[in-house]
Amino acid sequence: MLAGDSMVFMVDFMSPEQRSAHMAKIRSKNTKPEVRLRQLLHHEGYRFRLHVKDLPGRPDVVFPARRKALFVHGCFWHGHTCPVGSRLPKSNTEFWAAKRKSNQRRDIEQQERLRETGWDTVVVWECEIFPKCGLSSALIEFLGPTKHRGTPESVE
């Protein structure tokens, strides 16, 4: 090291035991973003099934009659391009980079398998759910009309 250069050490503010306990509390089903999305969908009149085991990847929200499936992805876990998703932990960065890359590969494979069997899929990112008061128009367009929202009636 040259004179005047300084080393910067990135230190995790949690001990390995604390980090492990924290990560163990994170669940794969019924997360806050997933529950919030389901509330919004139900409010708009959509009815659905949850975590269908027979489908590749066990989509979070499934519309069997429409053959459409939604995956609710956490920005950190699936490496979204938002500020939360693009930030890696300061310790064990190689592990986390590989973990997220593995998650992304698995996500793509599962969605491809669903499409091959005639299902349409959409990924809803965690950061897209909470700032909004309702469903995005793109998601409503993807899902199609509901009886609750009404469809244009033909005039006779």
Kindly give the residue spans of alpha helices, DSSP state H, lying in 44-136: 75-78, 93-116, 126-129
Q: Is 5 contained in some domain?
A: no
User: Residue 120 is part of a domain; what is its CATH number?
Assistant: 3.40.960.10
Q: Is 150 contained in some domain?
A: no
Q: If we measure between CA atoms, which residue out of 59, 87, 62 comes closest to residue 73? A: 59
- pTM of the predicted model over 0.95: no
CA distance 156 to 124: 40
Q: Is 98 contained in some domain?
A: yes
pLDDT in tens, 136-150: 889 999 999 987 655
Q: Is 110 contained in some domain?
A: yes
CA distance 91 to 12: 6
Q: If we measure between CA atoms, which residue out of 150, 69, 47, 72 comes closest to residue 113? A: 69
Number of domains in the chain: 1
Q: Is residue 155 predicted with pLDDT exceeding 50? A: no
Q: Is 12 contained in some domain?
A: no
Q: Is 8 contained in some domain?
A: no
Containing structural domain, residue 55:
30-143
- Tokens 């490496």 correspond to what residue? 79
Termini Cα distance of the chain: 84
pLDDT in tens, 86-133: 888 888 889 889 999 999 999 999 999 999 999 999 999 999 987 777
Q: Is 153 contained in some domain?
A: no
Q: Is 115 contained in some domain?
A: yes
Q: Which residues share a beta bridge with 61?
A: 50, 70
pLDDT confidence of residue 24: 61
